[in-house]
Structure 1
Amino acid sequence: MGAWGSGLYQNDTALDVKDEFEKLFNDGKSVQEITDGLTEEYESIMDCADEAPLFWLALADTQWKFGVLLPKVKENALRWINELKSQTADTLDGTKQKKSLENLQAKLLSPLPSVKKPKKKRIYKCEWKIGDVFAYQLESELAKERGLYGRYFLIQKVDEDTWYPEHIIPIVYVKITRDTKLPSTVEEYNEAEYVQTWFTKYEWRFLPLDMSRPKEDIEEKSKLTYEVDEYGFLPQYRARLLNTSKRVIPKKLIYVGNFPDAIRPQKEFIPHVKENIITVSWKHFDETFESKMIKRYCEHNLRELSIYAPKNI
């Protein structure tokens, strides 16, 4: 059954379709206009047996919830449901998949709920100041497995960005303490290790290009300094942290202090556009901020990612 899992939104395609529809609907676009736009945007996957059903099922489910399910969308979704049901394997996962499909089928065949009104945008601006540092203690099973239990991630705001609909979210560095003690001065803070969040290949250093003036854009970016690590990659250390409301920010955070003059990461590559900085949620399905950053620390700082294997040196 390809990319389909036991839950409809356990994949990026379905989540993107759902989020895009909700955004455009709440922006006041008509259902037909949104549907036409999404169908055109995802035209390249319509002949893919793995991806096409994810599009139609997510779109149908989302439209049903809003009370605006279009007949053509319903027809396509039901067709894919019947096809996917016939392909389910006789296993525990297959049984879960079939049950999920049957539940969606029953929903789409049931009377529509009342049409929802577009939601009024509620904008949140994170109150953290540039230089603010917050501590997050590692207490998960993954932290125990990796020998990091009791240590702290130190989260420092260094910039900010806009997130849908117009939330102001922090761009942060994350450091990890050497032990279970918190820093009390900028000197102690400087001793903690920066967690590398991602990397860029050297040949991609100019991307994305301004295609209205590509030659000039390359010339301008060529004047910047690009320092590679010992593997030839440009290390990234920033993350966009989805503080989209006070409610989502963990109460366990400890304010450490404001260190705007702290030493920055060595050889850091800062993406030319903020959209290319990785995004981190406090919780997204089974993944948490803690689990994601532990994985990044192990993959990059401890060089466990395959790109750091000897053959890639």
Structure 2
Amino acid sequence: MGYWSCSLYGNDASLDARDTYLVRLELADSDEEALEQTKEILEEFMGTEEECLVWYALADTQWKIGRLCDEVKGKAFEYIEQNGGEDLFEGRDRKKWGTILKKLEEKLNSPMKPYKKIKKFEQLELWNMGDVYAYQFSTKDAEDAGIYKKYILMQKVGEKGMGYPYEGFRYDVIQIYDRLFDELPSPEVIKDIRLLPADIPYRKNEELLRTFPLDMSAGMDYLKASEYPRKRLHFLGNVEIPIRPRYVHGFAKVFGWERIEESWLVAFFKWWQGKTYYEENGLYYPSELYKKSDDE
């Protein structure tokens, strides 16, 4: 078991149980279906010394959102009576674990929190292949970088299915073009602009430089309408994709629309100003190795 403390969620099994259950509530048709799906996904823990951690986490999570059911509560109490999980710890942590289980028992015996409505994930409409949008910078990060209210262009170049736990959902693969505009331009201008890599502009050494080509595009999911910056995106048109590197894109879980400027877009734009890369057999590589100034 991977663990870093004797707290209730100081281990991988408890975190997996909590996070899996919350995601399944967002995806499943009912609370009952969400629990059944969670148990199926966490089957690897059943029958092991870590099973108790799964039931503790599920019981605690269900209590917090007003869904504590008899099955989960019963399994949690069954393991609490056995001091389940005690053998996973040593010394002072073992004593602390007993206290943690006592507090959990008291919580589960108290009135649970009100039923919390969980908003379901819905697949938002994806862009069409070749669609070009202008994104307008709007945050303090952009203002500090001197690009506030400037436009940068993006184009859809691919579409992929999402993996666990979002099977059945899809995300776009987009390329970003490395030039800013004061006004909305014609989408045709992308034919004369280099790509902005979705990657850092250097590698630590020559071996890494040759081993890991640049990610030249980014995966962007559309699971939450609240994360999609609709007001900042302006559709320009649909044009033929001028550059389509064959190397794999950066994954959606790394990028995404949520806080796009603060999370990565402003930083990547700044990093690549004055930096170059080159193409070889359809793959792209940074021209420079790491320098201390790259982290500044």
> Normalising to structure 1: TM-score of the pair?
0.55
| 1:129-148 residue CA offsets vs partner (Å, 9 max, x unmatched) | 21112222222222233343
For 2:197 and 2:22, the matched residues in 1 are separated by 30
| 1:247-267 residue CA offsets vs partner (Å, 9 max, x unmatched) | 5432323424234313215x5
Corresponding residue for residue 108 of structure 1: 108
Corresponding residue for residue 262 of structure 2: 291
Corresponding residue for residue 270 of structure 1: 248
| 1:69-99 residue CA offsets vs partner (Å, 9 max, x unmatched) | 333346769988xx69969xxxxxxxxxxxx
**Aligned counterparts, 1:132-281, within 5 A:** 132-163=131-162, 164=166, 166-188=168-190, 190-191=192-193, 193-197=195-199, 232-244=211-223, 246=225, 248-264=227-243, 268-270=246-248, 277-279=251-253, 280-281=255-256
For 1:296 and 1:57, the matched residues in 2 are separated by 41
Alignment partner of 1:309 is 2:283: no
Deviates more, 1:107-116 or 1:55-64: 107-116
- The DSSP-based 3-state class of the residue aligned with 2:42 is helix
Inter-CA distance 172–27: structure 2 relative to 1 (3 Å threshold): farther
1:153 Cα deviation after fit: 3.5
Corresponding residue for residue 71 of structure 1: 74
1:235 Cα deviation after fit: 1.3
Inter-CA distance 32–183: structure 2 relative to 1 (3 Å threshold): closer
Corresponding residue for residue 257 of structure 2: 282
2:231 aligned partner, one-letter code: K
- The DSSP-based 3-state class of the residue aligned with 1:236 is coil
> Are 1:130 and 1:159, in contact at CA under 8 Å, matched by a contact in 2?
yes
- The DSSP-based 3-state class of the residue aligned with 1:277 is coil
| 1:251-300 residue CA offsets vs partner (Å, 9 max, x unmatched) | 323424234313215x55126xxxx73333332xxxx1222233661696
Corresponding residue for residue 281 of structure 2: none
| 1:205-259 residue CA offsets vs partner (Å, 9 max, x unmatched) | xxxxxxxxxxxxxxxxxxxxxxx99554211123232223555432323424234
Alignment partner of 1:18 is 2:21: yes
Unaligned runs of 5+ in 2: 86-92, 276-285
Deviates more, 1:190-199 or 1:23-32: 23-32
Alignment partner of 1:40 is 2:38: no
Unaligned runs of 5+ in 1: 88-100, 202-227
What is the identity percentage for the equivalent residue pairs of Structure 1 and Structure 2?
21
Inter-CA distance 254–121: structure 2 relative to 1 (3 Å threshold): closer
For 2:150 and 2:102, the matched residues in 1 are separated by 46
> Are 1:18 and 1:58, in contact at CA under 8 Å, matched by a contact in 2?
no
| 1:151-187 residue CA offsets vs partner (Å, 9 max, x unmatched) | 3342322222344363443222233433534322412
- The DSSP-based 3-state class of the residue aligned with 1:143 is helix
For 1:137 and 1:150, the matched residues in 2 are separated by 6
Inter-CA distance 20–180: structure 2 relative to 1 (3 Å threshold): same
Inter-CA distance 192–180: structure 2 relative to 1 (3 Å threshold): farther
The count of residues paired between Structure 1 and Structure 2 equals 250
> Are 2:141 and 2:262, in contact at CA under 8 Å, matched by a contact in 1?
yes
For 1:29 and 1:142, the matched residues in 2 are separated by 42
Q: What is the root-mean-square deviation in Å for CA atoms of aligned residues?
A: 5.3
1:61 Cα deviation after fit: 3.5
> Normalising to structure 2: TM-score of the pair?
0.57
Corresponding residue for residue 210 of structure 1: none
| 1:109-147 residue CA offsets vs partner (Å, 9 max, x unmatched) | 423579999x99775351522111222222222223334
